């Protein structure tokens, strides 16, 4: 049924194009907020499937949430992993994808380009204002802290506990894509704070990364489980909700993780629903599940910090004690963060890429 719907949708788009219309793949989105939760569940079960982008099983324990969605509602799921920038490009050109998870810096772009639709979920009132668009066009279900993941078997030095330690080390750093990736951009922001800067003053970060590049200490590859398991990552930097799973998946190495004491930020990723989704109710139900008690606890199991204020996380699921990220800088100004990340993207492309 889903394949048939996609074929029909594609044919409709082609008809519009050949008729000289400029609307492309844009279709009129339903107003998901007009429906009760019971109606959304029923319609989502009729659609039967949800396709996500940038929400793989190994990221923030999404795998357990997708399993929970299927077990509770019978909704099947498929993901295609990609960066935040790629997610938005995908939404602009492919309405067979329904829901994504993008860095805070990409939320306004998603709105400006008209790529997303609203769904506020039944948990709307227990989500802080900073973690949601007022119109429900994006909602942040979790935040994570900057986290080191260190392979003790292939590095001769002690694991760093701070960015000052990193600066004095000799191992290579793996932070992934910085030009179009939210994680890499977040790492650069973290180093700005570590060395006395801020969102409005990125120069300390630029100085640090130029130093690392000239010293040959930047690994240009991605920070992904397969590379960690293969021993290709010496010192990786990711989010607290990825590091535990990455470590546990590489049991063949002695890998340790930790939140830096002098330059960690707390940043959330935002759930977005494709405005042109051909299964919008399944996408809405997926967001609903992510914000449910079970969904929030699933995120905590990975090392994330859930954003709902009324969910009690069992102690056994608190991977990082609160005191370990007590000094982390919380990022809540989406506009300022987006501006900083845009500056980082351009600067990295012009100044660091040529040195790699």
What three-state secondary structure class fits 105? Answer: helix
264-286: average pLDDT: 96
Across the range 40-69, mean pLDDT stands at 97
The predicted pLDDT at position 25 comes to 44
Range 39-143+267-317 classified under CATH 3.40.190.10: yes
CA distance 284 to 291: 11
Mean pLDDT of the 162-176 span: 98
What pTM was estimated for this model as a whole? 0.82
Q: Choose which CATH entry (3.40.50.720, 1.20.1250.20, 3.40.190.10, 3.40.50.1820) describes domain 144-265+322-355.
A: 3.40.190.10
**pLDDT exceeds 90 at position 166:** yes
**Residue 265 reports pLDDT greater than 60:** yes
pLDDT for 21: 35
The mean pLDDT of the chain is: 91
The 10s digit of each residue's pLDDT in 303-322 is 999 999 899 999 899 899 88
Report how far residue 33's alpha carbon sits from residue 39's, in angstroms, rounded to the nearest whole number. 11
Mean pLDDT of 189-213: 98
**Which pLDDT score is estimated for 318?**
87
Q: What is the dihedral of CA 75, 81, 83, 88, to 10 degrees?
A: -40
Structure confidence at residue 207 (pLDDT): 98
pLDDT digits (tens, 9 = 90+) for 277-287: 999 999 999 99
Q: What are the extents of the domains in the chain? A: 39-143+267-317, 144-265+322-355
**Which of the four pLDDT bands, split at 50, 70 and 90, describes residue 178?**
very high
Pairing between strand 329-330 and 265-274? parallel
Residues 172, 301: Cα–Cα separation, whole Å: 29
Two domains, one topology: 39-143+267-317 and 144-265+322-355: yes
Neighbours of 42 (CB within 10 A): 13
Helices (H), 74-221: 84-93, 107-112, 163-168, 182-194, 203-214
* Rounded distance between C-alpha atoms, residue 97 and residue 81, angstroms: 12
Q: What is the mean pLDDT of the segment spanning 68-97?
A: 95
Whether residue 10 has pLDDT greater than 80: no
Q: Give pLDDT, residue 200.
A: 96
Handedness of CA 135, 137, 142, 146 (dihedral sign): negative
Q: Sorting pLDDT into bands at 50, 70 and 90, what band is 24?
A: very low
19-33, 81-95, 218-232: range with lowest mean pLDDT = 19-33
CA-CA distance, 191 to 203, in Å (whole number)?
A: 10
**Helical packing angle, 334-351 and 182-194, nearest 10°:** 100
What's the pLDDT at 1? 41
The confidence score (pLDDT) of residue 29 equals: 66
């Amino acid at each position: 049924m889903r394949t048939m719907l996609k074929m029909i949708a594609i044919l409709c788009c082609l008809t519009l194009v050949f008729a000289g219309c400029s609307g492309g793949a844009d279709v009129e989105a339903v107003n998901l907020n007009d429906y009760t939760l019971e109606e959304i569940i029923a319609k989502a079960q009729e659609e039967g499937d949800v396709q996500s982008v940038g929400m793989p099983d190994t990221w923030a324990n999404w795998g357990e949430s997708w399993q929970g969605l299927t077990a509770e509602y019978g909704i099947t799921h498929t993901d295609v992993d990609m960066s935040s920038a790629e997610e938005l490009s995908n939404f602009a050109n492919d309405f067979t994808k329904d829901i994504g998870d993008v860095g805070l810096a990409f939320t306004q772009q998603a709105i400006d380009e008209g790529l997303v639709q609203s769904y506020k979920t039944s948990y709307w009132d227990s989500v802080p204002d900073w973690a949601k668009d007022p119109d429900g066009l994006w909602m942040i279900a979790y935040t994570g802290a900057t986290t080191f993941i260190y392979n003790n078997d292939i590095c001769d030095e002690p694991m760093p506990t701070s960015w000052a330690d990193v600066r004095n080390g000799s191992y290579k750093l793996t932070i992934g894509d910085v030009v179009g990736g939210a994680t890499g951009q977040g790492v650069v922001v973290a180093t700005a704070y570590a060395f006395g800067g801020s969102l409005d003053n990125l120069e300390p970060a630029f100085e640090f990364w130029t130093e690392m590049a000239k010293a040959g200490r930047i690994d240009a590859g991605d920070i992904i489980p397969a590379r960690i398991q293969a021993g290709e990552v010496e010192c990786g930097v990711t989010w607290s909700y990825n590091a535990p799973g990455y470590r546990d998946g590489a049991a063949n190495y002695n890998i340790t993780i930790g939140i830096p004491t002098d330059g960690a930020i707390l940043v959330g990723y935002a759930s977005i629903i494709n405005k042109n989704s051909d299964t919008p109710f399944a996408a809405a139900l997926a967001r609903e599940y992510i914000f449910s008690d079970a969904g929030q606890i699933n995120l905590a199991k990975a090392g994330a910090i859930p954003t709902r204020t009324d969910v009690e996380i069992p102690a056994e699921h608190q991977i990082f004690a609160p005191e370990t990220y007590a000094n982390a800088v919380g990022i809540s100004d989406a506009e300022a963060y987006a501006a900083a990340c845009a500056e980082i993207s351009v600067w990295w492309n012009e100044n660091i890429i040529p040195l790699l």
